[in-house]
Amino acid sequence: MMNKAKKLLKKIIYCLTITVLALIYSNCYASVEISNVRYWTAPDHTRIVLDVDKETVCDVKESENLLVLNFKDASLNKSIPSEIILNKPGIKKLVFYHIDKGGVKIELILDKYRKAEVFKLKKFQDRPDRVVVDIFLQVAPVEEIAEEQMPMLKQKKIIVIDPGHGGDDPGAVARKGVYEKNIVLSISREIKKEINKMPGYRAVLTREGDYYVSFNKRLKIAKNLDASLFISVHADAARNRKAKGSSVYCLSTSGASNEAAKLLANNENLSDIIGGVPNGEGKNESGLIILNMFQTNTINLSRTYADTLMNHLNSINSLKYKSVQEAPFNVLKLPDIPAVLIETAYISNPQEENLLRSRNFQKKLAVAVASSVKEYLSGTASISPSNDALKNNYEINDAVEKQAVRKNKEITTIYYEIKRGDTLHSVAQHCNTKVAVLLKLNNLKLKDQLFVGRKILVPANKTGDNEFAASSQKNKYSNRKKPSRIYKVQKGDTIFSLAKQNSITVQELCKLNNMKSSSPLLYGQKIKLP
């Protein structure tokens, strides 16, 4: 009986072992399903994406105008037809075959192409494993085209507008199914139109359609064009549907200004992975050295523009933050070109989603961005983004002018130096006077621009102006030489951060070091601090 029991136990163990091994074997070599086929067309290539339900191996054979992919132990989803007519640049059609021993053969009928590359992308977030085919066209890549246009663009200030995401990377998705990638492309096109209306300026988009452009290519376009500004356009999203407002970000080489900025940067920096950039394309070790040498000065310039941009955005929408935010965005890592990232509004907020989809709001946004560009690059502070509103509120009639003349005989005046961001309205408020009085005192008109550094006459004998006069007197004495110490610039330092840490203005810091706010501030440089 004992021997029979032992023999039965051995048989059971044997059968179980065979079963387990069969399951393991079948799992390792289970048929891979090709579940979906997608494609995108860019100026320099067409991309075919094959979604598969697990990692797979495929053999690739290329001959004249024909690319063949052979998948072993594979099957096709029932939704995929036997033939897909594309007629896109570089490719005519796709043909699918079931072959012996449970395999799938895919033929890509090509046309007038330069080269084809096949690579795999691993499963990431909600994206499945993918086999990607890039068919490069017989045209120069977008960054080389930009280089050829240089002679024509040399006389103009180039502004690169970068619509975020694209192609396989939709960005944030609104409740109604609207993709961020489509919204920001539409806004960027409007910005381009507004900038191109300004004499001496030319806007260039990093992508003109629904396809993904790697961080490297986006930055290379700006470098090759020797751009004056780089503006990356996005639409924010949050779990809290009530979150709202526009915000502006600059690059930080150290950390983020707050936890929200850190999370946003982390999310945006995944775009290359989601968009499907081949492994290694985005890596550039030598760029880090160049970045450390020049980035401090570029960040200063970026922050100056970002402040100007925020002033203009504030006229059309509420601001999420009162100041410019900082975070390590990969798309802003340009060594010598001021770059900012603008979150136009919250696509996750129902009210702001409607705004973002509105053509009227998109145009207002474009006008605000274009106005900020002109103000920053021309070195002037315009009266206001909305001159019409000023005219309505401060229309000067004969009675006001006569009153201003009479008062002019009774008041004393002092000089006020225009600073960046000043408007006639803000100066009038500061001096406790009226815009009409300032216009008459300085023989100005509402449409006239205020240049930074210009001195204008302001009343000095009104209630509240004593404080202003005292401030001017204080500034007079502050010109006297003060004790200072030598400081060695550290990585991540900016003129703004050093001024803030030492409780002085940027202008005072620049004056102390006989430099301009646009002067380079390099790592290891020695400067004076109070």
CA distances from 260 to 202, 236, 249, 252 (A): 34, 11, 12, 14
Amino acid at 345: A
CATH 3.30.70.1430 fits 143-378, yes or no: no
Q: Write down the pLDDT at residue 516.
A: 73
Helices 350-357 and 359-378, interaxial angle, to 10°? 80
Report whether pLDDT(26) > 70: no
Please state, for a pLDDT cut of 70, what percent of the chain lies above it: 69
Q: Write down the pLDDT at residue 403.
A: 45
Answer with the residue of higher pLDDT: 443 or 35.
35
Q: Tell me whether strands 247-251 and 339-346 are parallel, antiparallel or unpaired.
A: antiparallel
Give residue-wise pLDDT tens across range 335-385: 778 999 999 999 999 999 999 999 999 999 999 999 999 988 876 433 333
Report whether pLDDT(29) > 60: no
Report whether pLDDT(4) > 70: no
Most confident stretch, 207-221, 266-280, 444-458: 207-221
What is 387-478's CATH topology?
A: Membrane-bound Lytic Murein Transglycosylase D; Chain A (3.10.350)
How many other C-beta atoms are found inside a 10 Å radius of the C-beta of residue 328? 17
Report whether pLDDT(20) > 70: no
Whether 458 and 413 have beta carbons less than 8 Å apart is answered as yes
Give residue-wise pLDDT tens across range 473-491: 444 444 445 578 888 887 7
Report whether pLDDT(187) > 90: yes
Cβ neighbours of residue 263 closer than 8 Å, sequence gap 6 or more? none
| Beta-bridge partners for 49 | 38, 132
Give residue-wise pLDDT tens across range 227-275: 999 999 999 888 888 899 999 998 876 665 566 656 666 666 666 676 7
CATH 2.60.40.3500 fits 32-137, yes or no: yes
Q: Write down the pLDDT at residue 468.
A: 46
Please state, for a pLDDT cut of 90, what percent of the chain lies above it: 25
Amino acid at 372: S
d(CA 417, CA 349): 42
Q: Write down the pLDDT at residue 331.
A: 82
Q: Tokens 């470098």: give the residue.
A: 223
Q: Write down the pLDDT at residue 155.
A: 67
CATH number of 485-529: 3.10.350.10
Mean pLDDT of 118-136: 86
Helices 350-357 and 180-196, interaxial angle, to 10°? 50
Q: Write down the pLDDT at residue 285.
A: 43
Answer with the residue of higher pLDDT: 326 or 197.
197
Give residue-wise pLDDT tens across range 290-322: 444 445 667 788 888 998 999 999 999 999 988
Listed range (62-76, 437-451, 484-498) with the worst mean pLDDT: 437-451
DSSP element (H, E) containing 66: strand 66-71
| Beta-bridge partners for 325 | 249
Most confident stretch, 73-77, 426-430, 461-465, 489-493: 73-77
Listed range (121-125, 128-132, 163-167, 463-467) with the worst mean pLDDT: 463-467
d(CA 34, CA 77): 6
How many other C-beta atoms are found inside a 10 Å radius of the C-beta of residue 203? 27
**b/e map 247-275, b = 16+ CB within 10 Å:** bbbbbbbeebbeebbbebbeebbebbbbb
d(CA 305, CA 489): 22
Q: Write down the pLDDT at residue 473.
A: 44
